[in-house]
A and B are shown apart, each in its own frame.
Chain A
Amino acid sequence: MIRIVNALLLRVFNALPVLIGVVTLTFFLLQLAPGDIVDVYAAETNLADPGELERLRREYGLYQPIWLQYLSYLAGSLTFDFGFSLREGAPVIEMILDRLPATLLLNFLALTFAFIVGVTLGTLAALRVGTWADAALSVLMIVFFAAPSFWVGLMFIVVFSVNFGWLPVSGMVTVGAEYGMLGYLCDVALHLILPTLALGLFYASMFARVMRASVLEVHGMDFVQTAEAKGLRGGRIVLKHILPNAILPVVTLLGLNVGTALAGSVVIESVFSWPGIGSMLFSAVQARDIPIVTGILFLSTFLVIVANILVDLFYVWIDPRIEV
């Protein structure tokens, strides 16, 4: 146990340079783009007073030497204080925390859905290898793997929302609806279905393909043959012997894709107007709102690191031979 805790601490310690690197890189890359937040703010508000612009630049520290701006930003980031957004008129951390849950919820559901569906379908396909079911599943997986998820999302909207009218087009809640807690949850659940599917199906198909190959490989191994020879039958062999071994590559893939999914949800968030941090990031880049951009990138990096550590722990749980 102490070994695990020590290893975890080491992991967390190792993550620090990564976080600092991300802040540094994004900060300086954004400095290369012409224009600052006050330029954009002035343009957006038609603010026509040079003195006021001067005052805003001074107040937001834009006249400070760049290394000083960088250092104060770095110090702020590491304590989760990303400053104040002039354009949005609110502290950056508040805005991010307001919208992060929506992104996390969508990603968590989509990846959970993808993991369960992918593992199940992949296993089924492998156990029925060579049959029409295997072929049908494989075709389906390839389709969802190849189709861009924003296109899948748009098609879902056209079919299920516009044509059939079963599900809401977009958003997270019905605007202006008044209902109790249960009604609210049901409402959010309804709004979640299409974006979760659109985002999740891509990963499900990826996981299913890997799972299918992995199950086939494990199925041919000696210990499975032995178990069969000992007279164990279908379900038990699959659950006790094949799955725990075959699932490891999928878990690896899951860990690797937490970051990708966060990025991919920027697109899905736009298609379904999901109120997460993805769309906020996009408009903040356009507006040169550096505190928001670096804030979101910092937090995303942080989440990916946390997710990877969790995946490592998951490894240990399903296969005790693996060391942290």
Chain B
Amino acid sequence: MTYRIARRSLLLGASSIATLTAFGSRPSLARLGGEITVVHNIEPRSLVGALGGGSTVAEHSAKLHDSLFFHNGTDIEPRLGTEVRNTADALEFTVRLQEGVTWHDGQPFTSADVAFTALEIWKPLSGNVAYRRIASVETPDDLTVVFKMSEPVSPEFFMNSISSGFGQVIPKHIYEGTDYHANPANKAPVGTGPFMFKEWKAGQYLIYERNPRYYRDGFPYADRILYRFEKSEANVAAVLESGEADVSVRNAVPLSDIERLKTMEGLSVTSEGNDAVAGFLHMELNTRREATGKSEVRQAIAHALDMRALIDIVYLGYARPVSGPLPNGSVYRKRGLPAYEFDPAKAEAMLDVAGYPRGANGIRLTLDFVCATWYPATRQAGDVVRQQLSDVGIETNLVTPDFGGMVTRVYKDYDYDIALSNSAHFSDPGLTTFDWYWSKAAIPGVPFRNTMGYMNPELDAAIETALSTGDADARRAAIDKFQDLAVQDLPLIPLAETTIFTVYRSDLQNVADNPQWSQTSWDNVGRDI
């Protein structure tokens, strides 16, 4: 089977001839040159996404590093790779590479770089199953890479993995033989991307400059991208209003400022461009514990929670309900999954049946409730949830540890009954979502991976099929099955999918033009002609 990259369409199921013109109705013309100033309240820890680090690192890394392919939402476009061929048993993938690519320091980019990144970085450091199954990598010539798998990997999943930020390639000649976590290049990367690292003043700003040797002709449009960091969220809006910056992404602006900014001359606000990178507010239910180990109790809790009220109170309406484990924008999301509508009476009845009647003091049971504090909204949601649970007779011991405390208590010691936290979900469930449900994903001491101690052989089997099968229809059926079981068993209750806003100066072009815009290269972003 060969992937003719430009013709494949995985996300929307509609096939089209995708080149850059496939952005459709959006104008893609913009002036060459100029600067784009971004203002953000979170500074990245490093600039190399291949080494991990979540969405902030991904946002920066994508400007400097290329992945093998790029998923524009409709189609997969070539980048460092031009073509993928896989064997029918889904055990071998051959990737052809782009000719004439050089690293920012002038060294040639070859298949050795891909092999090094795959074996030394992707496979051991990321949790991605497609990468974990790489047994060896062969490089018959400078422009050919052959991935040999230890177990079959669904080609669709493999393609989605190497087309995402998880598929960025880093230079062998800089990293080989070093301590990858301490390599100075993590803070001053050498990539192949459209922009080159120029300067980072910690706590202040970061500057990227156009890569004059970029292999894609005509890109990037802008000469420079400047990142400016604000410690206080409130300042982000002030910086945009005073005209000192052009764009802020990923809700760096407080939600309470959104309505005001919408009415401001010269500024635009959009919630597009994030469909493939959804953020959930969710509740983890520790299935090792007696009460939350029962699916009836978990379902009762879901009925007790008024998610609409939660969205209105905590997110000022800027969030969407979510009815399954996959985000609303994912093409794999199954429609018509049963929803647990808000019904306190039903919740109480279910708790009665499950063996938790109200005691003399009106309390049915008391649960340890750990609430994350990394976003102010999550902390506020903790109070709302606590109140709603109390209404049906579930009392909670609410604790709100800081980041380090949360990681230890919930994700390492598993010392909780319910935990309120956040998770990120990509369109393909193999990229992060499965990690929350798959019993084999749990690794003691490694956070954000089935911390609920949940195990259901049927659901495990569905996940494993979706990860391995070479048949696209069988894969979709397995993902549907996974969603059915996840909603039915409810080890994790997704509460809301947060709306992600981008605020930008109205003369910027090609803003939010792909489903994970903040985490892409911005090679076509520029000002009006």
A residues adjacent to B (C-beta < 8 A): 33-36, 39-40, 42-53, 56, 84, 86-90, 95, 98-99, 154, 157-158, 161-162, 165, 168-173, 175-176, 269-273, 275-276, 279-280, 285-288
Contacts and interface: CB of A to CB of B under 8 A. Distances in A.
Given A34-B401, A88-B45, A176-B37, A46 B52 contact: yes
B473 to A, nearest CB: 30
Contacts of B205: 171, 173, 175-176
B445 A42 contact: yes
B203 A49 contact: no
Given A40-B407, A49-B124, A169 B232 contact: no
19 contacts: A34-B409, A35-B412, A39-B411, A44-B52, A45-B125, A49-B125, A50-B444, A53-B445, A84-B182, A86-B182, A90-B187, A157-B238, A165-B242, A169-B244, A175-B207, A176-B226, A272-B235, A273-B204, A287-B404
Contact of B202 (A46, A98, A272): A98
Nearest to B186: A89
B229 interface: yes
Contact of A175 (B184, B204, B401, B412): B204
A94 to B, nearest CB: 10
Given A48-B443, A275-B203, A43 B235 contact: no
Contacts of A272: 235
Contacts of B126: 46, 48
B127 interface: yes
Interface stretch (B89-97, B298-306, B446-454): B446-454
A169 B242 contact: yes
Interface string B473-509: 0000000000000000000000000000000000000
Interface in B436-474: 443-449
Contacts of B53: 44-46
A89 B187 contact: yes
Contacts of B402: 285-286
Interface of B: 35, 37, 45-46, 51-54, 57, 124-127, 181-184, 186-187, 201-205, 207, 224, 226-232, 234-235, 238-239, 241-244, 401-405, 407-409, 411-413, 443-449
Given A161-B242, A170-B235, A50 B443 contact: yes
Contact of B201 (A36, A275, A285): A275
Given A39-B404, A46-B448, A86 B238 contact: no
Nearest first, the 10 closest Cβ-Cβ pairs linking A and B are A48-B127, A45-B52, A275-B203, A35-B408, A35-B404, A175-B205, A34-B408, A288-B404, A270-B231, A43-B447
A88 B235 CA distance: 25
Given A45-B57, A170-B235, 20 more contacts: A40-B407, A43-B403, A43-B448, A45-B51, A48-B443, A49-B124, A49-B125, A89-B186, A157-B238, A161-B238, A168-B244, A170-B232, A170-B239, A171-B228, A272-B235, A273-B231, A273-B232, A275-B203, A287-B403, A288-B404
